């Protein structure tokens, strides 16, 4: 199917040429995530400015899905507020759970929707987003700004 081919191309392109790869000095958020089932590891660095993601980078190793997903995530959240990034993480996880989502909401991230057919790989695709959410939680806790929504969310 042509769309599947296109999505595969997008994933392979991000895996072969990861965007925003490397460490970030003095990050506001630094968080690590691991998926021992597959051997995926990620460290994510976020620099905030005026409540927005001014810069974000990652380092990691693991399967193509986990690394491509992290690369795509960095492109998608740059310039967003923490709340906007959280909302996008929510939509991404909804897509992984098989809920209907639209191109308008997720853009290029739609390329990863085929992964949901393979439950083992869903963790690979979600690793960067789960780690990002954890990092944002830790940041807001440190700032004493945890919202009621965040604290009522189930892990």
If one asks whether residue 124 binds Zn ion (CB under 5 A), the answer comes out as: yes
Among candidate residues 49, 31, 26, 41, the one with its CA nearest the CA of residue 132: 31
If one asks whether residue 38 binds Zn ion (CB under 5 A), the answer comes out as: yes
Show the tokens assigned to 9. 């191309």
CA separation for the pair 82, 64 (Å, rounded): 26
Quote the least distance from Cβ 88 to Zn ion, whole Å.
Answer: 21
Figure out which of the listed residues 28, 40, 133, 137 binds Zn ion, where binding follows CB under 5 A: 40
CA separation for the pair 72, 20 (Å, rounded): 9
Region 74-113 residues binding Zn ion, contact defined as CB under 5 A: none
Q: How far is CA 22 from CA 48, 52, 62, 94, in A?
A: 17, 20, 15, 28
Nearer to Zn ion, 53 or 125 (CB): 125
If one asks whether residue 71 binds Zn ion (CB under 5 A), the answer comes out as: no
Nearer to Zn ion, 24 or 130 (CB): 130
Quote the least distance from Cβ 134 to Zn ion, whole Å.
Answer: 18
List of residues contacting Zn ion (CB under 5 A): 38, 40, 62-63, 66, 124
């Amino acid at each position: 199917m042509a769309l599947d081919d296109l999505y595969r191309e997008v994933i392979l392109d991000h895996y072969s040429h990861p965007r925003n790869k490397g460490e970030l000095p003095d990050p506001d958020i630094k968080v690590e995530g691991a998926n021992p089932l597959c051997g995926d590891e990620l460290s994510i660095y976020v620099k905030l400015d005026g409540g927005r993601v001014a810069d974000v980078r990652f380092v990691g190793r693991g399967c193509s899905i986990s690394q491509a997903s992290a690369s795509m995530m960095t492109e998608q959240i740059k310039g967003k507020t923490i709340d906007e990034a959280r909302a996008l993480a929510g939509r991404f996880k909804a897509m992984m759970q098989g809920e209907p989502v639209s191109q308008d909401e997720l853009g290029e991230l739609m390329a990863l929707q085929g992964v949901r057919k393979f439950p083992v790989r869903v963790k690979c695709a979600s690793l960067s987003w789960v780690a990002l959410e954890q990092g944002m939680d830790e940041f807001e806790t440190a700032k004493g700004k945890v919202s009621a929504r965040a604290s009522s969310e189930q892990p």
